[in-house]
Amino acid sequence: MANAKAVSAIPAIIKKSDTGLNDAVMEASLAQSIESFKEAGGTLNKVLLIPPDMTRLHSYAGKLTNIYYRLLSDTCQVDIMPALGTHMPMTDEEITEMFGADIPKDRFLVHNWRNDVVKVGQVPGDFVKEVSDGLIDYSIDVEINKHLLDPSYDLVISIGQVVPHEVVGMANYTKNIVVGCGGFNIINKSHMLGAVYGMERMMGRDNTPVRKVFDYAEENFLKDIPLLYVLTVTTQVEGSTCVNGLFIGRQRKVFEEAVALSQEKNLNFVDEPFKKVVVYLDPVEFKSTWLGNKSVYRTRMAIADDGDLIVLAPGVRQFGEDAGNDEFIRKYGYQGRDRILELYKTNEDLQNNLSVAAHLIHGSSDGRFRITYAVEKLTREEVEGVHFNYMSYEEAVKKYNPEKLKDGFNTLEDGETIYYISNPAIGLWALKSKF
């Protein structure tokens, strides 16, 4: 309790820059957060860092994790547990690429969302019904990784990026804990809550039904954890990550400040819908349609009816991030909101795997525009089997070469105009009229 109170007493640290914060400013800010914790009476013998995984490669969280490790490791034990959620564990190569080669691999813990969680409370069904306008009335168990409840940790530092998100509206803050380090029940039920409520009503916004559920968990079940949030807002400038904001503290206003900056930096409004969008998925970051469908989520509000989305996906080799989810996606495919909800009513396996049902809704255009995956590591039969169109990656790059395209509008050699996005994870594209 003493350390939790010390975290709450840390004054909010907020740094912003249109041109980008340099490493010296960020390191000084992280050092300041540690000193403020000590000055507030906190002790530091053992620390748990919770950064995102490889799917947030451009969050700058890997660099911040490395800085915290260097600042702390000489005087206390530092463990690092990437907030995997349902994602596959990071390989040693990915850990090195994201966090640096100087952190020993034995300092990394692996979150298992099926087996390593403890229930800390329950969000009541009446509350869920209220925030969802009556669409959902189930209760939601709040389960988090057991390491977060280990009293030997004097400080838990949650590091992540605030950016538009299809499930919760704006990523990170409490989501990094109750989903990134969460269990089967809350991951499944929160995803379905968002899907039924409608992601186009939520993406890019703060006070969504799903966020209100996470806030309920924070206010009622997480207060005794010495939890410090470290949030970034980033953009891409000529292929490099630019950190436009760094926000440190336990107070919700830290998240709200980050949301406001992300809405300014990461929302891309358009006046006319795009007829054809081409999205590139970096093979280092995107290995499944579970993640690669950010290309769908983040562009759907900008694509014209009867338009086209071409997804250049050289690294995509599967559909789900684990074998179980992959099997369900292959079984049902991306059939649209109405059809999936119809199947959900009569199929027990979907009822027991709500995050998959939600993902299948998110990954469809509901027949409004065509989605074509250009791949190397999946067959035509596999891609068409989940209701996407297929194109070979080799054929696609002859016309849509990511090495020659620039972000934004491009006119091709045949005179066709397309809109190109080199990384869908860093923003949201939407018609002003739809937002």
Q: Are residue 133 and residue 155 in the same domain, yes or no?
A: yes
Give the span between the Cα atoms of 246 and 17, in whole angstroms.
Answer: 9
Contact 395, 380 (CB under 8 A): no
Which residue type occupies 346?
T
Could you tell me which residues are beta bridge partners of residue 243? 234
Q: Do 315 and 216 lie in a common domain?
A: no
Could you give the C-alpha distances from 422 to 207, 315, 418, in angstroms and in order?
A: 29, 14, 13
Identify the pLDDT of residue 360.
94
Boundary (domain end) residue, out of 212, 233, 266: 266
Of 203, 232, 266, the residue at which a domain comes to its end is: 266
Which CATH number goes with the domain that contains 343? 3.90.226.30
The answer on 230 and 342 residing in a single domain is no
Max CA-CA distance within the chain?
A: 67
Claim to verify: residue 8 and residue 137 sit in the same structural domain? yes
Residues 106, 204: one domain?
yes
CATH (domain of 164) = 3.40.50.11440
pLDDT tens for each residue of 52-97: 988 777 789 999 999 999 999 999 999 999 999 888 888 999 999 9
Domain count, the chain: 2
Residues 279 and 260 in one domain: no
- Segment 197-216, tens digit of pLDDT: 988 899 999 999 999 999 99
Q: Looking at 101-110, 130-139, 251-260, 353-362, which range is the least confident one? A: 353-362
Q: What is the mean pLDDT of residues 421-435?
A: 88
Higher pLDDT, 281 or 433: 281
Query: Residue 324: what pLDDT?
Result: 86
> Same domain for 218 and 326?
no
DSSP characters over 20-72:
---HHHHHHHHHHHHHHHHHTT---SEEEEE---GGGGGGSHHHHHHHHHHHH
Domain end among 241, 266, 291: 266
Average pLDDT over every residue of 401-419 = 95
pLDDT for 232 equals 96
Give the type of residue at 96.
T
Q: Are residues 246 and 301 in the same domain?
A: no
Are 32 and 50 in the same domain? yes
φ, ψ of residue 81 in degrees (nearest 5): -125, 100
Read off φ and ψ for residue 107, nearest 5 degrees.
-85, -10
- How many percent of the chain have pLDDT more than 90? 85
Per-residue model confidence (pLDDT) at position 58: 79
Are both 297 and 153 inside the same structural domain? no
Confidence of residue 124 (pLDDT cuts 50, 70, 90): very high
| Number of Cβ within a 10 Å radius of residue 352 | 12
Q: Which domain holds residue 420?
A: 271-434
Q: Is the dihedral of CA 347, 353, 359, 361 positive or negative?
A: positive
Tokens representing 183 are 């269990």
Residues 57 and 201 reside in one and the same domain: yes
Categorize the per-residue pLDDT at 415 as very low, low, confident or very high, splitting at 50, 70 and 90: very high
Note whether 251 and 279 are same-domain residues.
Answer: no
